[in-house]
Amino acid sequence: MTGMSAYLRTFHSFDPPGIWRAVLLNFAAAFAEGAGLLMLLPILSLAGVLGQDSGQKSWLPMLDRLFVSLGISWSIEFALLVFVVLIYIQSQLTLHRDRVSQSLQLRFGDHLRKTLYAAIVRANWSFLTGKYSAELLNTLTTEVQRITTGTYFLLRFFTISILSIAYFSVALWLSTWLTLLALAIGLVLWMLLRGADDAAKQGGMMLSQANRKMFAQIQEFLSAMKLVKIHGEELSSLYRFNREVDQVSNHSMEFQWIRTRVQAVYRVGGAIALAVVSYIALVWFKLPATHFLLLVAIFARMLPQLAEFQSGRQQLLHMLPAFSSWRRLMEACEANQNPEGAACGNVKLMQGITFERLGFSYPESHHRIIIRNLAIPARKTTAIIGVSGSGKTTLLDLLSGLLTPDTGTILIDGAPLHLLPGWQKSIAYIPQETQIQNGTIRDNLNWKNLEPTDAEIKQAILQSALTEFVQGLPKGLETEVGERGVKLSGGEKQRLALARALLRKPQLLILDEATNALDPENHRLVIDSIRALHGNLTVLIVTHKTDELSGLIDGMVQVEQGAVGKWIPFAHKKSTTADKKNWSPLALKCF
């Protein structure tokens, strides 16, 4: 399927009734405009401006007989009244047509954006980690906006086509051969300017690439903003951003130059065509004056519309690369969707989590993880120990359902994890880099929660050691925290994240090195908060060291070079050689 046909099919499938309504309104408005043009003939004749060569007896005999049968005779007053009524009808139809077209255009853009966003949200984690966020943002914003703009020109393209048919119909009735001659000249102009179509499409592709690079530069700066400031690299970042913006501007200007050049050629060519047709009409065909003036008026109105017709066609070709980007990303997301499961509530974790002969490796990577047999008891606090890059995060991603194992099974209270679609609703996850959204403390506590009660919020704040902090704020829960929580300290962010996690009422709480970057006092507050939860829910704490967790954890799991050992009670931290084989690299040979 070509890009244009795919775009048209997508647009048509979006709202067929609305599109057909726009089609009918276009035909009705064009018919009314054509009838209004024809009414100029009897008006001019009845006014005696140009004689009676197109008077009422020779103009539309059937309509003339109809009015006579109704007892109505042609007069200048009646003809003007009919003309005004036709123009009023045409203006109302045009107004309604434009509103329907604008609604179609905007709703189609919203539809593309919402559909793509839904596909991205439902895509699996492995796929999303392989995509650049700048590409996703660019497609959702700039590319969809370009498609929306292109859709406007598609609707204008159709409107102009219908109007042109109406004009040509009237012109053919006035003089068939002159109209065909004008049409032939127009086709010659179109053939001569077809080369600009390829340039428009190529320009659209270059603009899409430039937009992606610009978004990538923005994303790079925002993610490393603090580092840029510390190293004093503002000018370097500004230079790279300005370079990408200039590329976007240059590609946009190149297309505008192509489009305006084509319009200029159409205007000049149209003027020449009008002069040729006028000469032939007067000298060779001896066309009646009223017919000639009306024919000139029709062609004069058609010339700018034909130029707009060609301009709209180029806008569509220029837009197609943006639609192709949307379509490719949409198809990729749909091909990597998470499996749909039956809706259900939170999954209870009463017995424990079991990994049975599990293996996983990343595509095109040497990193892999092996778990021979691991059982994590419920309602216990477990430390996941290992150096950076050993596989701790991969273990958590497998447990949370973000990744699917290549072999083996994960069981939750004996039930396979992939058969528990509500499992992720039962998890609360706190990373080292806490995600705090712009807004108030209450907004952050309400994030993805079903409107917790004041009592639940108060309890979560108490459990996360935030009570004194919140009470000391002038606005309490309504205090603004700033973008990414810039008005909060690291410890305050982590405790706010813990309170937010507890409001989910999880069965499993995961802290992925959530306390590593905290100062001793904030570290103590967070650890004390977690200690207060001991025995009430299953807690996994990912850390490099266990000495500071004494009295908090019940057991530990060692991860080394992708090999995951058994759950060992913390009291038996100094394991035997046999225990160490459960997690050493030698275990890979036993899998």
Q: Confidence band (pLDDT; 50, 70, 90) for 376?
A: very high
In a domain, 273, yes or no: yes
- The yes-or-no verdict on residue 94 having pLDDT over 70 is yes
Q: Taking Cα atoms as reference points, which of 208, 159, 161, 155 lies closest to residue 320?
A: 208
Is residue 122 in a domain? yes
On the question of pLDDT at 147 being above 80, the answer is yes
In whole angstroms, give the CA distance from residue 291 to residue 537. 90
Q: What is the helix (H) or strand (E) element at residue 352, kind and residue range? A: strand 352-361
Q: Is the pLDDT of residue 574 over 60?
A: no
* Same domain for 422 and 504: yes
430, 498 contact by CB (below 8 A): yes
Q: Please give the residue range of the domain that contains residue 447.
A: 352-590
**140-153 burial string, b = 16+ CB within 10 Å, else e?**
bebbbebbbbbbbb
Count of CB atoms situated within 10 Å of the CB of 59: 17
Q: Residue 470, exposed/middle/buried by CB under 10 A (0-12, 13-18, 19+)?
A: buried
What's the number of domains the chain is made of? 2
Most confident of 116-120, 215-219, 239-243, 493-497: 116-120
Provide the CB-side half-sphere exposure for 447 (13 A, CA). Answer: 18
Report the first-to-last Cα separation within the chain, whole angstroms: 47
CA atoms of 285 and 181, how far apart (whole Å): 13
φ, ψ dihedrals at 527, nearest 5°: -65, -40
Together in a domain, 373 and 313:
no
Is 249 among the domain residues?
Answer: yes
Q: Average pLDDT in the 64-80 region?
A: 69
pTM of the entire predicted model: 0.75
Domain contains 468: yes
Q: Cα-atom radius of gyration of the chain, to the nearest Å?
A: 36
Residues 86, 140: one domain?
Answer: yes
User: What is the average pLDDT score of the chain?
Assistant: 79
Distances (CA, A) of 104 to 51, 145, 150, 226: 48, 14, 12, 44
Same domain, 392 and 321: no
Tokens of 469: 């902090």
pLDDT in tens, 438-472: 888 888 888 766 678 888 888 888 888 888 888 88
Confidence of residue 354 (pLDDT cuts 50, 70, 90): very high
> Is residue 86 very low, low, confident or very high in pLDDT (cuts 50, 70, 90)?
confident
- Predicted confidence band at 289 (pLDDT cuts at 50, 70, 90)? low
Same domain, 378 and 257: no
Of the candidates 304, 335, 366, which is a domain's last residue? Answer: 335
Helix (H, G, I), strand (E, B) or coil at 338: coil
| CATH code, domain with 327 | 1.20.1560.10
Are 362 and 324 found together in one domain? no
Burial of 171 (0-12, 13-18, 19+ CB in 10 A): buried
Q: What value does the mean pLDDT take over residues 265-274?
A: 76
Is residue 490 within 8 A of residue 517, CB to CB? The reply is yes
In a domain, 343, yes or no: no
Residue 56's pLDDT is what?
A: 41
Single residue among 281, 305, 335 that ends a domain in this structure: 335
Residue 246 near residue 212 (C-beta atoms within 8 A): no
* Shared domain check, 294 and 366: no
Residues 282 and 411 in one domain: no
Same domain, 383 and 314: no
Q: Which two tokens stand for residue 441?
A: 């403390």
Q: Using the Cα atoms of residue 283, residue 287, residue 292 and residue 298 in order, give the sign of their dihedral.
A: negative
Average pLDDT of span 95-109: 90
* Predicted confidence (pLDDT) per residue in 311-350, tens digit: 778 888 888 999 999 999 999 999 988 766 544 567 888 8
Residue 154 lies in a domain: yes
Single out the residue in 335, 364, 392 at which a domain terminates.
Answer: 335
Measured from the Cβ of residue 434, the count of other Cβ atoms closer than 10 Å reads 21
The answer to which of 12-26, 300-314, 480-494 has the lowest mean pLDDT is 300-314
For residues 359 and 210, state if they share a domain.
no
Strands 508-512 and 427-430: parallel
347 in any annotated domain: no
pLDDT at 58 over 90: no
Residues 375 and 523 in one domain: yes
Is 393 within the bounds of a domain? yes
Q: What is the pLDDT of residue 218?
A: 85
Taking each helix axis from N to C end, the angle separating 76-122 and 3-14, rounded to the nearest 10 degrees, works out to 100
Give the model's pLDDT for residue 572. Answer: 44
What pLDDT is attached to residue 375?
93
Task: Give the pLDDT mean for 220-236.
Answer: 78
State the Cα–Cα distance between residues 583 and 591, nearest whole angstrom.
Answer: 12
pLDDT of 540 strictly over 60? yes
Q: Average pLDDT, stretch 203-226?
A: 82
Q: Is the dihedral of CA 16, 18, 22, 25 positive or negative?
A: positive
Q: Are residues 293 and 373 in the same domain?
A: no
Q: Greater confidence, 424 or 43?
A: 424
Residue 78 or residue 502, greater confidence: 502
Strands 563-564 and 381-385: unpaired
Here the CATH number for the domain that contains residue 398 is 3.40.50.300
